[in-house]
Each structure stands twice: as C-alpha cells, then as structure tokens.
Structure 1
C-alpha cells in the first residue's frame, strides 16, 4: 500500500501545479468573482491553506482553542495570491518536518473537538483527509477557471505517478 507521506507529496505537487498555472493566467483571474462555492479562486486557495494549517496542528496535538486562535494569521493573505502561495510553501516544509519526526504514521492518537467529541484515529487517516480535502477544492478551482474562460491543469494522482516515474527513469 502507498504510504500517507506519498499521498501528501502528491497533494503538494498538485497544489504547486495549480499555483503555477494561475501565475500564467491574467493576474485578475485569481480574484475575479465567480458564482461558486467560494467567491474567487484565491479564496479557495486561502481556504485550503487554512485547512492544511489546522490539520497540521491537529496532527501535532495542539489544543483546539489554540488552533482556532492562531488561524487568523492567514487573514493578511486575503486577495494576495503570492502570499497564499508563500503560506502553502511554508506549510509544505512544516508537514515535511512533521513527517521527519514521526516514526509510525499508523500510530493512533486522540483528537478532541468541542462539538464532535473525541476521535481515536491515526496520523495517516488525517493526512489522507488533508489530501482528499485538497483534491476536492482543486476541482473547485478547475471549475471556476472554466467559468472564467480558462482551462484547468491536470492534477489527478495518476499524473503525479507518471511524472514521478519519468523522473526516476
């Protein structure tokens, strides 16, 4: 079975493809209002950063209220695709630091949420949730780009596997 770290590496690869694609479109594309799940492409990407940050802190067993109190640090990136990309890059480094400190991603840990209660789960399950969440929202970005008259960029897992395979050969 593929390990959770490889799925996270796919997540990072796919996010970079999205950011690079958007950088090659007219600058206003990231900020144009779209009738969709989020008002703009940059808003989706900022949401993804916030979520990745929250889940990294959950994996690091930071207390719920401390996470909620600190997530506001992303507000200054609102409407600034370069700042959002920088946050994504910093988060990737922080996730890799987390991976370097974990011996067993199948290890069970306990998550506490004030409304949902306590969940016994594994680090790998939460990492897969992060990847799945990102995949969902990259789909939102593609749909929004198409609404704005632009193509999307392929970010399916199989494209990652092909690229990874080519780099070995």
Structure 2
C-alpha cells in the first residue's frame, strides 16, 4: 500500500503542477482537453472501483480550467478516502466493470490503481509536449523530482 499511496501523492502533485502551468500560459484546446481527460478518467476509475456504474461519466470533454481545478481537489479527496477504506483489503481482489463501450472486464484493485497513476503521467507528457511546441517551458513532473 505504501507504494500505491506514494503513486497517488505523486499523481496529485503532478496534476497540481500541470494546473499551475496551464493557469500561467495561453492554453491551447488540446492541452485542456488532455488535462480534463486525465481528471475525468480518474473519476471514472474511482466509480468503477466502488462498484458503481460509470457509463454516464464523460471520458473526454471540453477543457475548462475552472472545472479542472475543482476536479483535481475532488479526485484527490476521493482517492485519499478510498485508499484509507481499502487499507486492509486484498489488493488482488477483482473488480467487475464495463468499459466505455459497454464491454465487461474483471481487473484487480492493484492493477486498476496502478493504471490510474500511470495513465495520467502518459497524458501529462503529451501536455508538456504541446506546451514546448507553443514556446512554453514543460513542467518537470518526474517522480524523482517529486520525492526529492
């Protein structure tokens, strides 16, 4: 659990770092779309982890920095609560859920949590690429920077 907690602390830090960068530059539509996708996906996965239907939640939506700001805080609080609740749960327990196409899967809690942490990092890298292409400095969101 310690590693998973660290990964989610990094996720929150990295999301906040990207948010601050996007608040200080002229943001392109692609950057906001990617950022809102990260945050929407976090909500979708948390909903699935709780055994609820996520089919009505957006995966992609129009980017809005104000909405992103709210989602960061909400997701961080909700994942902290969830991680505290499952502290004594077997992380290899399987969760049954349907993806956005309605196809059903069974995946372990551990693998879902690992996916959520890594998924955001992938898209934050895409945001950084677009920031650089627009003449802005990319945000150092490397895990080692976080732990230092």
TM-score range, shorter chain: 0.7 to 0.9
TM-score w.r.t. structure 1 length?
0.77
Residue 160 of structure 1 and its aligned partner are, at CA, apart by 0.8
Q: Distance in 2 between matches of 1:160 and 1:104?
A: 27
Shift of 1:120: 4.1
Q: Deviations over 1:22-48 (max 9, x none)?
A: 2222xxx22x25xxxxxx211111111
Match of 1:167 in 2: none
User: Alpha-carbon deviations, 1:111-139, whole Å to 9, x = none?
Assistant: 23342x43241x22211100110010010
TM-score normalised by L of structure 2: 0.87
Counterparts of 1:160 and 1:98, CA distance in 2: 22
The answer on 1:104 being equivalent to 2:89 is: yes
Instruction: Give the structure 2 partner of residue 165 of structure 1.
Output: none
Find the aligned partners of 1:79 and 1:18 in 2 and give their Cα distance: 14
In the alignment of these two chains, the number of paired residues is 144
Q: Residues 139 and 120 (structure 1 numbering): CA distance in 2 closer, same or farther, change over 3 Å?
A: closer
Look up the SS of the partner of 2:96 in the other structure.
Answer: strand
Larger Rg: 1
Contact 1:4 1:105 in 2 (8 A): no
Greater share of residues in helix: 1
| Pairwise CA RMSD | 2.1
Partners of 2:138 and 2:50 lie apart in 1 by 34
1:51-70 C-alpha deviation (Å, 9 max, x unpaired): 001110111111xxx3112x
Note the residue ranges of structure 2 that are not aligned, 5 or more in a row.
Answer: none
State which of 84, 91, 94 in structure 1 corresponds to 2:68: 84
User: In the aligned structure 1, how far is the partner of 2:78 from the partner of 2:95?
Assistant: 21
